[in-house]
Structure 1
Amino acid sequence: MTTTDLAPWPQLTGNEPCRAPGADPEDWTGTTLKQRANGQKACLSGCPEAVREQCLAWALDHPTRAGSAIWAGTTLSDRRRLRAERRDAAAA
């Protein structure tokens, strides 16, 4: 039997753009392309790299819970592509 360790919830510092005072939750969970682009851009420019890595790992390992929100600057379709690439690399 094989077990897979899933990434734990990211260790947030409180300095991430998604947690900043006045941050609009719709920038991270909204359904319009503009909201997604705004959230993605803000995350990539202001989120510490270590937190982005943890955030992305969590979102990749927990697709149902991550939903369509922005995680580490990635959209749902970005994460689907990354999971497929990871599966392909593991199968090779």
Structure 2
Amino acid sequence: MTGRLAPFPRFTGTEPCQAPDADPDWWSSDDTNDRAAAQLACRRCPTREACLAWAIDHPTDSGDAIWAGTTSSRRRELRREFAFSTKEKK
């Protein structure tokens, strides 16, 4: 964790998860194809960085859903990597 909490991303309506034709269940589905579709859609998201920062800083709230194209296990890896890199700098 970063020591400070990222704010919830400000959605503009241009994000793939906010698109009228997007299935909101893709981001929280247990189906591998749905999750892959969500991850692919996130690649073109204009708020991906803010979304990822929030999901990394809020593991309980982000849960097992796809956030910024990442799975919960990938976000755990990123948290460990970040914690390790901040320890190295001290």
TM-score computed with the length of structure 1 as normaliser: 0.88
Alignment of 1:1-20 (within 5 A): 4-20=3-19
* Residue 36 of structure 1: how far off its partner (Å): 1.2
Alignment of 1:4-83 (within 5 A): 4-44=3-43, 46-48=44-46, 51-83=47-79
- Runs of 4+ aligned structure 1 residues displaced above 4 Å come to none
Q: Which runs of 5+ in 1 are unaligned?
A: none
Of stretches 23-32 and 77-86 in structure 1, the one that deviates more from structure 2 is: 23-32
Q: Which runs of 5+ in 2 are unaligned?
A: none
Q: Give the letter aligned to residue 57 of structure 2.
A: D
Q: Give the letter aligned to residue 62 of structure 1.
A: H
Q: Aligned-pair RMSD on alpha carbons? A: 1.0
Aligned partners of 2:62, 2:82: CA distance in 1, in Å?
18
* Identity across the alignment (%): 55
Q: Secondary structure of the residue that 1:15 maps to in structure 2?
A: coil
